[in-house]
Amino acid sequence: MYLPPFEVYILGTSSAIPAFDRYPSSQFIHINGSYILIDCGEGTQMQLKKYKLPSNRIDLILISHLHGDHIFGLPGLLTSLSLLQRQKPLKIIAPQSLKIILDTIFTESEAKISYPIEYIFTQPTHPELIFENDKFKISTVPLIHRLPTTGFVIEEQPADRKIIKEKVQEYAIPIHQFNRLKKGLDAEDEQGNIIKNEWVTQDPPPTRKYVYFSDTALLSSIPEVAFNADVLYHETTFLKEHQDLAKITMHSTSIDAAQTAIKIKAKKLLVGHYSSRYENLDLLLNEAKTIFENTELAKEGKKIVV
Amino acid sequence: MYLPPFEVYILGTSSAIPAFDRYPSSQFIHINGSYILIDCGEGTQMQLKKYKLPSNRIDLILISHLHGDHIFGLPGLLTSLSLLQRQKPLKIIAPQSLKIILDTIFTESEAKISYPIEYIFTQPTHPELIFENDKFKISTVPLIHRLPTTGFVIEEQPADRKIIKEKVQEYAIPIHQFNRLKKGLDAEDEQGNIIKNEWVTQDPPPTRKYVYFSDTALLSSIPEVAFNADVLYHETTFLKEHQDLAKITMHSTSIDAAQTAIKIKAKKLLVGHYSSRYENLDLLLNEAKTIFENTELAKEGKKIVV
């Protein structure tokens, strides 16, 4: 069965201080011909180039919060796109103050951006459907961190219903009725007889869902919209033995991440945002796996199929 | 003859759009136990780590101008130093508006910087001695660019005069008179006889000078302070065949860089700030060499001894 692409490319996995060749947070998403960037730590434009990902095809940038390791790559990426003469608008979904930061930088460095930037501001108090088109929808989820922070849920729109090949002849379905059937409506044959949708179509594949939770302390309540994620990316800044640091800095341990994966019935857990104190990431992986077996380490350059 | 270290480490050689694994402008200078950063393009903190250079020993950052490829690494470097609990002050020599940019970023991302930042503001109208200590002095030189821009001249302070070994016995120079002689003063022996400085000392090695000119169009008049550089770093954004682009963007060609090296009687020319249109940098090198033979390409990770 053909599934349109829904892929996550990892550009950065480091928490605040980059170490061991790990870059700060950024992910590039390809969903059925659309390209989304989530967070944009320093060096993101170089990482996109390194992994041959098309930065100019990004139409949507999602920013979880305004800590530097999630935004310090934005001024460089946005001005490079401008130097490359981008014309089409770019949407940025982010906390409101991001606009103050970028406007100040562009003004003081006299950067004239060649394309319109359209902001959609997030709020950290309740979940919200914040963007939708015919292919996917994006919701925000409040996270628990030192600054206003949201997670993101990216979910495919349902595909068309599938017309069963053999039924086309059996019911003599006219071609011009196909679209009605694909959309779930009943149809008619040339004689005006009703063709019930359920007789001739089958369900499309279930919609796929990617959930991005970084940065956050352990979430006590999680909204329904994040449930049943095919892949949950959850920050794992610390090991359980450093849970005191996790508490102070409002980050998560590997155990927290795994518990969240269980709670929302995720199929797969992807962990990242590693503290610079850990060179060996298997410690974090193995700790998460004690609770949630299907866990994978995010690594720069890795592609995850949702 | 022992010479204290005076070394330039290249961290980035790219102009505005990073390409071919080249990073935007930044150089790390080690001069006799002091550490200086010149410009700080995106990714500088990672480059410092990659080449095992001690970012926390930097006490002085020089910023030529506020285009993004010279400053977008600053917020990340400064916050990382803070996360590493730096306490000692950091001096930043830069155009005044840099403070507006950094203050806005630190305020909006709620970054509390753990150490004092002391600004010394440059002006682009006339050359100026802008910093001096017992080891070196730094002067600014106005450059010609789209934004207010200065070059920098870093010059050693003269070393002590050298007392000629054999003369110590011959003139029975008391040890407590050595310092006077080293400073160029006359001394006395235990009987009160004058010992002329010129009888017993020789000149110290000549002071060394590093000149950094980026970004700039061809300079028509260059102040005396930049003359006789041991090493001149000069931007070479374009080949002569693209001099129309150089003119529009107020950058230099390899020919411009070489002519400047001749004009200021530099011993060596180091070129960098390459346009992303050139993958093969030998084109730029060879063009400069047609006019100034002792030319070298700046390359990420390269160390140049001044």
pLDDT in tens, A97-109: 999 999 999 999 9
Q: Do B102 and B171 belong together in one domain?
A: no
pLDDT score of B2: 78
Chain B CB contacts of A13 under 8 Å are: none
Strands B34-40 and B26-31: antiparallel
pLDDT at A159 over 80: yes
pLDDT score of A273: 96
pLDDT score of A125: 95
* Residue A21 region by backbone torsions, left for phi larger than 0, else alpha for psi between -120 and 50, else beta: left
B28: which residues sit within 8 A by CB, 6+ positions away? B8, B9, B11, B35, B36, B37, B48, B51, B53, B58
CA B93 → CA B29, B210, B222, distances in Å?
Answer: 15, 17, 21
Q: Is residue A1 part of a domain?
A: no
pLDDT for B140-179, tens place per residue?
A: 999 999 999 999 999 999 989 999 999 999 999 999 999 9
The pair of structure tokens assigned to B249 is 């963007």
pLDDT at B18 over 90: no
pTM, to two decimals: 0.91
**Smallest Cβ distance to A67: which of B45, B101, B109?**
B109
Q: At A164, phi and psi to the nearest 5?
A: -75, 125
Cα A222-A224-A225 angle, rounded to 5 deg: 105
Chain B CB contacts of A56 under 8 Å are: none
* Closest-CA residue to A181 (of A190, A169, A194): A194
Report the distance separating Cα A111 and Cα A108, nearest Å.
8
Q: What is the least distance, in Å, from the CA of A50 to any CA of chain B? A: 8
Q: Which of A144, A171, A197 is the last residue in one of the domains?
A: A197
Weakest mean pLDDT among A12-21, A130-139, B102-111, B135-144: A12-21
pLDDT for B248-271, tens place per residue?
A: 999 999 999 999 999 999 999 999
pLDDT score of B36: 98
Q: Answer whether A68 sits within 8 Å of B79, measured CB to CB.
A: yes
**What ipTM was reported for this prediction?**
0.89
Average the pLDDT over B35-47 and give the result: 97
pLDDT at B1 over 80: no
Q: Which of B149, B178, B202 is the last residue in one of the domains?
A: B202
pLDDT at A5 over 80: yes
Cα A132-A134-A136 angle, rounded to 5 deg: 55
CATH code where residue A24 lies? 3.60.15.10
The pair of structure tokens assigned to A115 is 């394309």
Average the pLDDT over B42-51 and give the result: 96
In A, minimum Cα distance to B46 occurs at A18
pLDDT for B210-236, tens place per residue?
A: 999 999 999 999 999 999 999 999 999
pLDDT score of A20: 85
Q: What is the least distance, in Å, from the CA of A34 to any CA of chain B? A: 24
pLDDT score of B119: 98
- E strand or H helix that includes residue B254: helix B254-263
pLDDT at A84 over 90: yes
**Smallest Cβ distance to A76: which of B42, B108, B147?**
B42
Please name the amino acid found at residue A243: Q
Average the pLDDT over A256-273 and give the result: 97
pLDDT score of B19: 84
pLDDT for A146-156, tens place per residue?
A: 999 999 999 99
* Strand, coil or helix: B87: coil
In B, minimum Cα distance to A75 occurs at B72
**Smallest Cβ distance to A108: which of B24, B76, B97?**
B97
Q: Answer whether B75 sits within 8 Å of A66, measured CB to CB.
A: no
Q: Do B251 and B106 belong together in one domain?
A: yes
Point out which residues pair with A271 in neighbouring strands. Answer: A234, A297
| Strand segments (E) across B69-170 | 90-94, 117-121, 128-132, 136-142, 150-156, 162-163
pLDDT score of A198: 94
Residue to substitute from B52, B109, B114, B250, interface A, most A β-carbons within 10 A: B109
In A, minimum Cα distance to B98 occurs at A108
In A, minimum Cα distance to B74 occurs at A72
pLDDT for A189-206, tens place per residue?
A: 999 999 999 999 999 989
Chain A CB contacts of B16 under 8 Å are: 79-80, 83
Q: Do B119 and B141 belong together in one domain?
A: yes
Q: Do B193 and B55 belong together in one domain?
A: no
| Residue pointed to by tokens 């080891």 | B135
Terminal Cα distance for chain A, rounded = 15
Q: Do A192 and A220 belong together in one domain?
A: no
Name the domain count of chain B: 2
Q: Do B147 and B211 belong together in one domain?
A: yes
Q: Do B45 and B182 belong together in one domain?
A: no
Residue to substitute from B11, B46, B107, interface A, most A β-carbons within 10 A: B46
Q: Do B155 and B170 belong together in one domain?
A: no
Q: Do A36 and A169 belong together in one domain?
A: no
Q: Is residue B19 part of a domain?
A: yes
| Residue pointed to by tokens 């460089």 | A76
Q: What is the least distance, in Å, from the CA of A28 to any CA of chain B? A: 19
Strands B231-235 and A90-94: unpaired
Q: What is the least distance, in Å, from the CA of B94 to any CA of chain A? A: 13
pLDDT for B76-135, tens place per residue?
A: 999 999 999 999 999 999 999 999 999 999 999 999 999 999 999 999 999 999 999 999
Residue B287's pLDDT band (cuts 50, 70, 90): very high
* Closest-CA residue to B213 (of B263, B296, B275, B271): B271
In B, minimum Cα distance to A14 occurs at B46
A247, A217 contact by CB (below 8 A): yes
A251: which residues sit within 8 A by CB, 6+ positions away? A15, A145, A215, A216, A217, A235, A237, A238, A245, A273
* Closest-CA residue to A237 (of A252, A255, A220, A257): A252
pLDDT at A17 over 90: no
Chain B CB contacts of A18 under 8 Å are: 45-46, 49, 80
Report the distance separating Cα A264 and Cα A260, nearest Å.
6
Q: Do A34 and A170 belong together in one domain?
A: no
**Smallest Cβ distance to B17: which of A19, A68, A80?**
A80
Residue A127: give the domain boundaries.
Answer: 6-159+205-305
